[in-house]
Amino acid sequence: MDSVNDFLSDASSFIWGPWLLIPLLLSTGLYLTILLRGLQVRHFRLAFWLAFVRRSDSDAAEGDISHYQALATALAATVGVGNIAGVATAIALGGPGAVFWMWVTGMVGMATKYSEAFLGVRFRRSDAVGEQAGGPMHYLRNGIKGPVGLILGGFFAVAGAIAAFGIGNGVQANTVAANVEEEWGLDPYITGAIVTVFAGAVILGGIKNIGRVTSAFVPVMIILYVVGAAAVLAFNIEEVPGAFGVIFSDAFSGTSATGGFVGAGVAAAIRYGVARGIFSNESGLGTGGIAAAAAKTDHPVRQALVSMTQTFIDTLVVVSFTALTIVVTGVWKDAGEDEAAQFTARAFDEGLPGDWASVIVTLSVIFFAFSTILGWSYYGDRCVEFLFGRRAVLPYRLLFLVVVYVGSVTTLTTVWTFSDVMNGLMALPNLIGLLILSPLVYRETRDYFRQRPAEGEKAETAAK
């Protein structure tokens, strides 16, 4: 087992080291931001109007679910334990400065997410039962002609189908079982059975069922968590300016050892900030393109604008609240790396009066993790459908549910490292494809706003 841990650790260090994925992620996001002329800022209000006011293109000829349901599915997949335990781990390993690099990843990641969603819709197709199939495996294969596109698409699909069992399954189920046992003393075998049954009731119904469920409870779970975190900040308001100060200063100077924290340099802040940032918002992973492809929309640009709001909500809202609660309460100073997963719960306990703080965290973990399981089950079955056809989807869904149960009752000592490795193996072909196909994204985005200025102006006015 030690050899497996060592191998995964070495692979993660190489993939997320200073010479491969981190510069590729940041430079791709920055390049797309410049190429699209800061689209995530210029059309921010339009994107939110389409997502939360317009919500759907009801007259669109193709698609399985609405704009909003596609966004909710993507949010369901991304707003998971990475927003709680992942942020805490980033701070434990990289210091408060890691939070700054999570923000950077989120900001430039909005342009990356836009491009993924655009291409996901642009190259989608109908599968054997009439459902939409899209995402990196399709735009890599069909957008990049020849063997290069075929290899990149196949590589992404294999990595995505496997990664779903880690980032979107085992991590989530195990965290739910552990938190429920600690808070209410319920045996993980019982928790695992309950989670598996509820997940099966949704997953086996396909994307339309997933879209209906996630669109109903994703807003509730996010609001519940943000209100709780905001209360922590309100009770510690005098510490908030200092928290921002240490986040910005440590991002460029590193963090000295203090209490149980062993210290971290700038390289560690960047590495873990970017790695946990992509674990949280998935910009660069390509998964946003899979969810976007299912949306009813009459143009790729419209759904792409909607999809990029997911990165903002995930990283610049939910992650920020988690990070600030940890920093303002100072819990990160008093515990080592092994206790990082408990940072957020401790921050709520110390930051709020009464005994109900841990209940908020536990309920948030349950909702976040369960929603991620739903979203990633869809990502995985789209990858399997690409590789083996529609006949492989049901067996994959059933296997996915088995892993939900196994993950609930098994100690997963290497699961975070495994997830980092698999995330990286998904991101590499996707980022290469985004760079190759970026001229197409630019041209069709430019043409859309030139050809439909009246619609854009109307939407912008309504969004004000």
pLDDT of residue 252: 92
> Could you tell me which of 206, 194, 223 has the C-alpha nearest to residue 69?
206
Fold of the domain spanning 64-463: Amino acid/polyamine transporter I (1.20.1740)
Residue 315 contacts residue 99 (beta carbons within 8 Å): no
pTM attached to this predicted model: 0.92
pLDDT of residue 274: 86
Cα–Cα distances (Å) from 404 to 169, 362, 401, 419, in that order, read 6, 18, 5, 15
Which portions of the chain are predicted below pLDDT 50?
463
Residue in the block written with tokens 């515990």: 335
pLDDT of residue 310: 94
The 3 state secondary structure assigned to 298-365 is CCHHHHHHHHHHHHHHHHHHHHHHHHHHHHHHCHHHCCCHHHHHHHHHHHHHHHCCCCCHHHHHHHHH
pLDDT of residue 402: 97
pLDDT of residue 441: 98
For residue 384, give the 3-state DSSP assignment.
Answer: helix
pLDDT of residue 127: 83
pLDDT of residue 114: 98
- Name every residue whose Cβ is closer than 8 Å to that of residue 454 and which is 6 or more positions away in sequence: none
**Domain chopping of the chain, boundaries:** 64-463
Tokens of 49: 């109007």
For residue 8, give the 3-state DSSP assignment.
Answer: helix
pLDDT of residue 263: 67
pLDDT of residue 337: 57
